[in-house]
Structure 1
């Protein structure tokens, strides 16, 4: 499979210091890659060069994440992140793009899609939840907090924002032989970047997921109305987003392509990279390629 280098950049976005990764020709069709939790653009480091012969791939670190700044005046919620993603695309002169949607990057990207549906060429959906009735058992602790958000319960959320908590997030529910493919760099790197202020922001974002649940019907309505070309690639060994979370998309996107990696979990780009890249290439060549 073709591969080219990823380059690393800093951008002054109206006073906000933004780090992002890029790969591919400037004039190629664009794939925008908003990252999930507890990660950064680092999650796309190996995927990007495998598509960069035909597409321009752009992966920013959200404010308060990765190597981007953590400004005082940024609104650290899903609306704030979606607005940031729009500003980032505008600054780079990107009018139309495909979105790779993973983890909470799914909801952030879909908020941008709802606001500006004409800009969305295609979606690649990978373990991103928007169907409340299909949430997995690992959501139980969060749902208890939503029902009774006491200070003690909030302290329990904060306990999860730790090196051990990050390791659990990255390993999730996969079997040991698959877990061996997931590098410990993921949790050690991202924990090393977690300052006390970032930790407080992260707990607030997690607590704010209750409000995000109210957006789920809006995400679904966007998909039903606009029917963007969609590839669904999913690891069902995911305690937050099991197989049912993937299949639920077909209710609103009956023409979507669904591929399940039965032994895969939440971090397919670590455990099943080549297969995901091949499926992505085939899909994007059909729906998002001008060459």
Structure 2
């Protein structure tokens, strides 16, 4: 290779490296822009349970999107974008999660979260809603549906707690850490080391199909508020501790009478909530509209496949 060819090769390599660097920078900037845009939409509903943070898009009949642990309403951002032409789409943050501001000693149990949702809907003047739920939000959705059946038009349940699998056994170590008031350092580690968060030992690596696509800005938006103060660290621990008692066993008779149209859309790659529990719901709920499987989908697949959420929601809603 002569000197001119060598220099040309170096220039090509340098150009490719520069483009790759620009791509990384562009991706980081896009993720930051996305979280900032979502944060700009955030509103607060004052209730007896505190100031409930939420994002709302669209108009018409309400649809309520319920996130899981340790996420917040940002999980549903792309689903809201797709479904806002058809519904008044609302994604609240649960007490102890996200950007909701609740009293320091507020009860954070699934039942208290259920009661909060009723007060939240009352505050927004919403009589009934379609509910889309994931993870621990799915347990709360089931409680809400049997306790307020007149307020739930439809249920779209993705991988979540069901019957005896509430909480799943793999969560017990984390729950016990919460009971001991010692879970928050684990969350801090995810913030300090996003690469760890995306590894197979981290929360993102364990719950997303493509963890490397989850940007640092997204991790920051999810996890930063959970450790932002002594109050929030305490609430994170107490949220986990409150999951130890299973509230779903007691409502099995009510679920067997629940006629609400319900569709299960379930990722097959989720070790916490296997497909067998979607099938249990299908057999148990009189209003079941069957099960759709998302091949390889881990716990938080709805964030990665909002097209599937939108397609299934519109079908369930008769659109």
Corresponding residue of 1:187? 219
Assess if the C-alpha contact under 8 Å between 1:237 and 1:265 holds in 2: yes
2:45 equivalent in structure 1: 11
Mark the runs of 5 or more structure 2 residues left unpaired by the alignment.
Answer: 1-36
Q: Superposition pairs for residues 1-291 of structure 1, below 5 Å?
A: 7-14=41-48, 16-25=50-59, 28-72=60-104, 74-132=106-164, 138-139=170-171, 141=173, 145=176, 154=180, 157-164=183-190, 167=197, 168-172=202-206, 178-194=210-226, 195=228, 196-211=230-245, 213=246, 215-253=247-285, 255-285=288-318
Cα distance in 2 for residues equivalent to 1:21 and 1:135: 28
Q: 1:239 to 1:137 in 2, by over 3 A?
A: farther
Aligned match of 2:18: none
Shift of 1:155: 6.0
Alpha-carbon distance, 1:85 to partner: 0.7
- Aligned residue pairs total 270
Q: d(CA) in 2 for partners of 1:187 and 1:163?
A: 11
Kept in 2: contact 1:181–1:270 (CA 8 A): no
CA shift for structure 1 position 229:
0.7
Look up the match of 2:3.
Answer: none
Does structure 1 conserve the Cα–Cα contact (< 8 Å) formed by 2:80 and 2:89?
A: yes
TM-score with structure 1 length normalisation?
A: 0.81
CA distance in 2, matches of 1:219, 1:99: 18
CA distance in 1, matches of 2:178, 2:125: 46
1:137 Cα deviation from its structure 2 partner: 6.0
Instruction: State the SS of the aligned residue for 1:274.
Output: helix
Shift of 1:8: 3.3
Q: What CA deviation, in whole Å up to 9, does each residue of 1:207-260 have, x standing for no partner? A: 22221x2x2223433321113111111112222112222222122026332111
Alpha-carbon separation, structure 2, partners of 1:152 and 1:61: 20
In 2, Cα distance between equivalents of 1:21 and 1:197: 23
Tell me if the contact between 2:265 and 2:294 (Cα under 8 Å) persists in the aligned partners.
yes
When structure 1 is superposed on structure 2, of 13-22 and 158-167 the one drifting more is 158-167
SS at match of 1:94: coil
Q: Distance in 2 between matches of 1:23 and 1:152?
A: 34
Contact 1:37/1:103, CA 8 A, preserved across alignment: yes
Deviation at 1:60, TM superposition (A): 1.4
Structure 1 residues not aligned, in runs of 5+: 146-150, 287-291
CA RMSD of aligned residues (A): 2.9
User: Higher helix proportion, which one?
Assistant: 2
How far is the alpha carbon of 1:158 from its aligned partner?
4.7
Distance 2:55 2:45 in 1: 11
